[in-house]
Every structure is written in C-alpha cells, then in structure tokens.
Structure 1
Amino acid sequence: MKALVKAKAEPGLWLMDVPEPEVGPGEVLIKVLRTGICGTDLHIRDYDGWAQQAVRTPLVLGHEFVGEIVEVAAGVADLAPGDLVSGEGHLICGKCRNCLAGRRHLCRSTVGLGIGRDGAFAEYVTLPATNVWVHRVPVDLDVAAIFDPFGNAVHTALSFPLVGEDILITGAGPIGIMAAAVARHAGARQVMITDVSPFRLELAEKVGVSLALDVSSSTIADGQRRLGLREGFDVGLEMSGRPEALRDMIANMTHGGRIAMLGLPAEEFPVDFARIVTSMITLKGIYGREMFETWYAMSVLLEGGLDLSPVITGRYSYRDFDAAFDDAAGGRCGKVILDWTA
C-alpha cells in the first residue's frame, strides 16, 4: 500500500510502498479516506528538536483521519466492516490508576498514533477497537477527518460553563477558531479571538465571533472596551502557547475567571502569579480529548448545526502531499485535508 513515511532521520517525507498492516488481537483494519495535517506532522517533516526526540524512523505519520472498517479481529463486538469511523489517536495502557478509574485521557503511558506507532497517512491503518469512534449520523468526510483537533477545541471550550459568559480566545489557528465556533454555539455572550494573522482573523469572523482582534495593532484591553465589558472576561481559552498571550489574558480576566490552556509553549516563561492568586483565577491544562465524552459532544454539536466548513481551506490528493504540507506550514490556511481516494 501507499503511505507517507518518515523514512530517514532528516528533514523530509517520502511517499512509499509499505506492507499493509496486519490486524492484531482486539484491533480493526480501516481503509483511510481522508486525513488532516496537524502541526505535529509539520514538526516531524522538519525533523526539529522535538521530532528528533519523539519519533524513530521509519514511521508512517498521521493521526487525524476518517475511514471505513474493512476487517475486525475475532472477538471485537459492536464494530463491523462498512462502519465509517474516526480514531482516538491516544493509545492508553488500560492498567494504570486513571485508566482503571475511567479517566483514560489522563493515562501516563499514552502512545500517539503516527508518533509512537505507525499512523493514518496511508491507504490502511490498524487501531484498537477501543479507540474507534463510529459516525452514526451523517457527517462530511472532511469534517470527520479532523475530529481529533476538533476534539481538542471541544475539550478546551467546554472545560467551564459558557452560557451567558464573555469568552477570550488567544490564538486563531484552526483549533482556536473551532473553539470559538463551539463557544458561540454553546451560548456564550461575547466571544473575542486574537491573533496577528489577518487571514486567520477573517476565518474566525466566518464562524461568528463578536470581535476578531489583531493584537499587533490593538490590545486585549482595547477589545474589552470595544465589547463594553467592565469587569473583564469570564473564561479564557489560551490556544497560542505564546507567553505574551497568557500574560495579557490573565491581566484581562474578571475576578474568579477561569482559563483553559491548550497552547504548548516552546519554553518556560514567567506569569504574574500574584494576579492569579488575588484575582482567584483558575488555570486548567488541556491535552487531547476526554475518552469518549468529548467525542460524544462533538457529534452532538455537529448534529445540532455547528458548521466547521470555514475552518477547512485546503484539499489535496495524497500524491500532492508536498504542496499540502507547504500550504499547512505557510500560515495562510485553516485545516488542510489529504484525500486518500484521489
């Protein structure tokens, strides 16, 4: 089968013929239809410092996907050939305290699909049946391909109650924009998103934010005044990983404000902990998705009319992966999709 492989310990990716994966105990074999390109995949292509530590070559990349089950292992129940599925890309141990307590997203021994084991940038991929999410209501294939990052957005956005609240989102990348759409759909009063990219701020406007603010020319305090907020934001969603973004967010939260943090900083940085203490601000780190409560919420949100189509800006055949990766790395894009049937 064809697969997109990190074949060498150097920058680059290679489209190669590799053996079709074999179905192990408790697994299913999935024919891949569409995949989404993630920032993690860009790091692996560039083979930066993180990738050098995280991956071992050769490796088939990819963890954002939708496909059709073609084979199930003996004993696997409730899944069948023909099911349209996406996959939870965090493979857990099932034995640690958190796993046994049902808090599977907190497993300390998580293995990442397309990072710690061969992934979904291929014509076929295997996955434990316990990691499979079946799409039981109609869903656009491009949207189904990005359920993984959509889950990050939903997990972050729904960490705290949103109804009637004023929301600040720092970072208008695809996940930040999806989080903005979720917040608006879930009943937030005002939703402000910040970035320095005019292109991405325009995308954010398409999902109905109250204000898309360019922080290269305006401050968060300026935006707060434009929205008529007198006491600050109630909920903050930090999606950028930028030190200045979190510091400015903390400075513009109301007393008792709550912040969910998904953005990964490149290095440690100082924040005003005196302000966090005296303003009684809650900080919560977010990683991945709750298994499978977040997935249920994603499907219900889409069934209820949430529209993610503005977030998807690029569609390519897997054979044109170089152009697709260049598009994803260029910054003037939302989510970029690879079609494995073209």
Structure 2
Amino acid sequence: MDCMTAAVAQLSTMRALMKTKAGPGLELTDAPMCATGPGEVLIRVLRTGICGTDLHIDRWDRWASGVVQAPLILGHEFVGEVAAVGPGVTRVRVGEIVSGEGHLVCGRCRNCMAGRRHLCIRTIGLGVNTDGAFAEYVVLPVSNVWVHRESIPLDVAAIFDPFGNAVHTALAFPVLNEDVLVTGAGPIGVMAGAIARHAGARHVVVTDVSGYRLTLARAMGATVACDISRAGVDNVAAELGMSEGFDVGMEMSGNPAALRSMIAQMSPGGRIAVLGLPSQDVPIDMATVVTRMLTLRGIYGREMYETWYAMSVLLQGGLDIAPVITHRYGYEQHADAFATAGSGRCGKVVIDWTRPTGPGAL
C-alpha cells in the first residue's frame, strides 16, 4: 500500500455537500468516507462545476422531488487526483489527474454490448441517483474514469462533463463551411458555438436574451451574438448574406419558441441537434420539417468515449474554453456559488475543494 493510500485508509468521514432531507437547500456536512471495491477508483476531488441539474436538486423542484432520494451527495462535474484503486484496477494509477463520466451504465443491455454505452437503457446518474462528487472524495468504476494525459488547467478539467455535451452537440453534424445557429447562450451553448467555429463553420450565430451571456458568446468566438428580444434571427441572416437559411442548428435552451424559430430559419436539408430539455410539450411545424426535409436529432450526454477523446484533441488543437469559467468559490462558499450559478449572470461556476474560500468572480 503506497503512502497516499495509507493516509486515506485512516479517514472515517469526509466533508460533503448534501441534500440531507427532502426539500429546498443543501448542507455542508460530514459524510461517511467512500469505500473502494473491486474495479473501482477512489478520487480526491479538487474542483467541481455546478450544473443546471444541481440547481434543480438544490431548489427541490417537481423534477428533483420525483427523481432524487435524500440523503444524497450532489455533483457530477469534477476533476481530482487518484487516491487509491481497488482490486483488479491496472490502467489507472495513484496520483493521476482524472475526470469522470457521470453516466453509470449497466454493461449488459443491447446498446452497451454493441459499444453504444451512451444509449444504455439502465443508465443512472452520478450525483442524481447515487452519491456524487461534491465532496472531498468520490468513488467511480474504473470504466468511468478519464485520465488527463496532457496537462490542462484544473478548472477546465472540472467541466469536461458539460464540455462533452457541447462537443457531442456541436459535432453531431459536419459544420465545416456551414452556417450555424445556436439558440441559448448558457455555458454549453457558448462552448458549442466556439467548437463550431474551431471546426470550420463559416458563421456562428448565438441567440439569447441575456446581455451578460451574449457578451460571453462573442468573447468565445461567435460571429454574431443576437439578443432576440431586440432583433430577429432573419435580420441577422440577411445581414450576413445568408439567403437560404442556416445549415446546422443547435437548440440548447429548452425553450419551445426557440425550437420553432430555429425550424423556420433552416435551409432545405438542414440538420438540427437538440440538447435543451423543455419542461413542457413542444408543438412544432411538422409541415416545414417534412417539406424542407429537415433532420432533428436528440442529444443526451456524451458518447463513451469518443466524445471524451474529441474533447482532449480539441484542446490540444488550440480550442480555448477557459473564458467560459467566470467564477470560482471555496467549498464553504457553496451558497454563494449556487446563487451565482442560478442568477444567469455567469458562465461556469467552479467550487474549489482544496480551500474553504475563493475569489468569486475571476
């Protein structure tokens, strides 16, 4: 047993941010130390990112109350250092810097057996259906551990999960030389726009109603960041000399009006990747979908592990997503971190688990 593993073995509790009981709010408390079994990896958490899913659980809305069983440690966006490995683990070593795939799959269903693990019918979510990474330590099956072979900033490594959503969406269809419309300038939408430009799109138009996030989209490389409360997308397309509509759409907002508008703006044969989850049924103009021969493709999570490989290669190739990270807090500032993440006046918010306080805005 190496020295790091020996030190960890002495711990009986760890600090964790938990939903301790049904209802709004979270509590930073002591939780039982993780146990590492065969085929598992114990990770000392260094940074975590706050996801919209975490905000739903914090607020205890209708979705959260129907899915989450308290007590639960939240969190699925993280980077950490391998602290120990269980029996049978050989490809991951103590001391390596890793992130984790938060979708835990069964490995036995038709899609898992065919190598399409992102389509597993029995997927459970880290930090949703089982204890997650908002803690000093987290345990994952070795099959869910991604080792960062190249040196990257810890804050960036912490958001590989949402970065993967953006990559999966942005590369669902070829974008080289295409005109791309992204509806929703949240962090994932902003990253998707940056990926599309990096992958060779001609124009990338990002729409939203938040001035803060549209400014972030411009900083991340959007050709045009359009406030749709002031100007229509059709006007932007005309100004860019696009006479036949957009070739590729990425719907990131979950807003029914955004999807309907996107369908109306697509060129014949256009392709739409839909990541945004609506909270209600979305009536769409199927006549336009049929007569323009549009393709709509749902996107969920990341392809395991083709998307993870693509993320690493994109960063090695010069894509910079660091500007999307706008705030960092220490773990004792979790309430401020969640308030900032829920305000809309931010990009990605990161919690530093190595210190109790942090700078806030970067």
- Normalization by structure 2: what TM-score? 0.94
Give the corresponding residue for 2:316: 303
Amino acid at match of 1:22: A
Which residue number corresponds to residue 226 of structure 1? 239
1:324 is aligned to 2:324: no
For 1:38 and 1:296, locate their aligned partners in 2 and report how far apart those are by CA, in whole Å: 22
1:209 matches 2:222: yes
Match of 1:134 in 2: 147
1:53 aligns with 2:66: yes
Query: Which one-letter code corresponds to 2:252 in the other structure?
Result: M
SS state at 1:328 partner: helix
1:222 is displaced (CA, Å) by 1.1
Would the aligned equivalents of 2:105 and 2:123 in 1 still touch at CA under 8 Å?
A: yes
Aligned equivalents of 1:297 and 1:59: distance in 2?
32
Instruction: Please tell me the residue identity of whatever aligns with 1:302.
Output: L
Matches within 5 A, 1:63-82: 63-82=76-95
Q: Which residue of 2 aligns with 1:9?
A: 22
Deviation beyond 2 Å, 4+ runs, structure 1: none
Q: Any idea what SS the aligned residue of 1:18 has?
A: strand
Contact 2:37–2:87 at 8 Å: present in 1 too? no
- What do the CA deviations read for 1:112-131 (whole angstroms, capped 9, x no partner)? 00001000000000000000
Match of 2:128 in 1: 115
Residue in 1 aligned with 2:3? none
Q: Which residues in structure 2 correspond to 1:191-340 (within 5 Å)?
A: 191-340=204-353
Q: Which residue of 1 aligns with 2:359?
A: none
Cα deviation 1:176-226 (Å, max 9, x = unaligned): 000011000000000000000000000000011110000001111111112
Check conservation: 2:168, 2:301, Cα contact below 8 A. Answer: yes
Aligned CA-pair RMSD: 0.5
Aligned to 2:138: 125
In 1, Cα distance between the equivalents of 2:98 and 2:40?
13
The answer on whether the counterparts of 2:74 and 2:128 sit within 8 Å (CA) in structure 1 is: yes
Partner of 2:172: 159
Distance 2:249 2:95 in 1: 41
Task: Measure, in 2, the Cα distance between the counterparts of 1:53 and 1:43.
Answer: 11
Q: Distance in 1 between matches of 2:220 and 2:31?
A: 40
Shift of 1:239: 0.2
**Offset of residue 269 of structure 1:** 1.8
Corresponding pairs, count? 342
Per the TM alignment, residue 19 of structure 1 is displaced from its structure 2 partner at its CA by 1.1
- C-alpha separation in 2, matches of 1:50 and 1:304: 39
Counterparts of 2:286 and 2:95 in 1: how far apart (Å)? 53
Give the superposition deviation at 1:284: 0.1
1:40 corresponding residue in structure 2: 53
SS in 1 for 2:32: coil
Deviation at 1:309, TM superposition (A): 1.4
In structure 2, runs of 5+ residues without a counterpart are 1-13, 356-362
Question: C-alpha distance in 2, partners of 1:231/1:192?
Answer: 15
Which one-letter code corresponds to 2:318 in the other structure?
G
